[in-house]
Structure 1
Amino acid sequence: MRTTQQMSITLPNEMADAVKAKVRKGEYASESEVIRDGLRALMARDRAVESWLHQQVGPAHDALRADPSRAVTADQVRARLAAERAKAG
């Protein structure tokens, strides 16, 4: 059974040139390898975002709903960031 599928794709000229340049420079053996590597990176990023949402954002949201007094205003966030910048610089 075949584990690959041939496709025809259309890319903007700038992206197509970038793919061809990767092959020309010897970074990849074929244009397909460039696209596969890019898709693997995209899938890894998607998994990382999903993990972050489930492990950090969801629990933080639930904690805030359970105790709204934990919330901070935009002005408080700005003041905290300004203080951090002042400490660093």
Structure 2
Amino acid sequence: MRTTQALTITLPLEMAQMVKDKVTSGQYATESEVIRDGLRSLAARDAAIEKWLVEEVVPTLTALDADPSRVIPADEAWRRIQAHMDARTLKKRGE
């Protein structure tokens, strides 16, 4: 049973040249290997985003829903950030 499928794709000229350059440089044996590696990288990025959403974003939103008093308004958050940056600037100057 065949485990691959041939596809015909169209790429912008810059991307097509990048694929060819990867093969010419010897980094990859074929253009298909370049595309496969790119798709593996895309799959890894998608998996990392999914993991972040499930493990960090959802629990954070759940915690905030459970205790809305923990939310800081955006203008207050920016004020705190600016105060922190100002303090660091003064410290660097020795003031």
CA positional deviation for 1:84: 4.6
Corresponding residue number in structure 2 for 1:47? 47
Task: Please list every run of 5 or more consecutive structure 2 residues that lacks an aligned counterpart in the other structure.
Answer: none
Normalised TM-score (structure 1) = 0.90
Q: Deviations over 1:25-82 (max 9, x none)?
A: 1110010000000000000000000000000000000001110011111122223333
Matched, 1:2 2:14: no
Identity %: 56
Distance in 2 (CA, whole Å) between partners of 1:17 and 1:11 is 9
Corresponding residue number in structure 1 for 2:11? 11
Corresponding residue number in structure 2 for 1:73? 73
CA positional deviation for 1:86: 4.9
Q: Where do 4+ consecutive residues of structure 1 move more than 4 Å?
A: none
2:88 maps to amino acid: K
Distance in 2 (CA, whole Å) between partners of 1:58 and 1:11 is 36
Q: CA RMSD in A?
A: 1.7
Matched, 1:35 2:35: yes
Other structure's SS at 1:55 match:
helix
Sort the Cα spacing of 1:75 and 1:53 in 2 relative to 1 into closer, same or farther, 3 A.
same
Task: Please list every run of 5 or more consecutive structure 1 residues that lacks an aligned counterpart in the other structure.
Answer: none
Aligned residues: 89
Q: Which moved more, 1:72-81 or 1:49-58?
A: 72-81
Sort the Cα spacing of 1:85 and 1:37 in 2 relative to 1 into closer, same or farther, 3 A.
farther
Distance in 1 (CA, whole Å) between partners of 2:22 and 2:86 is 40
Normalised TM-score (structure 2) = 0.85
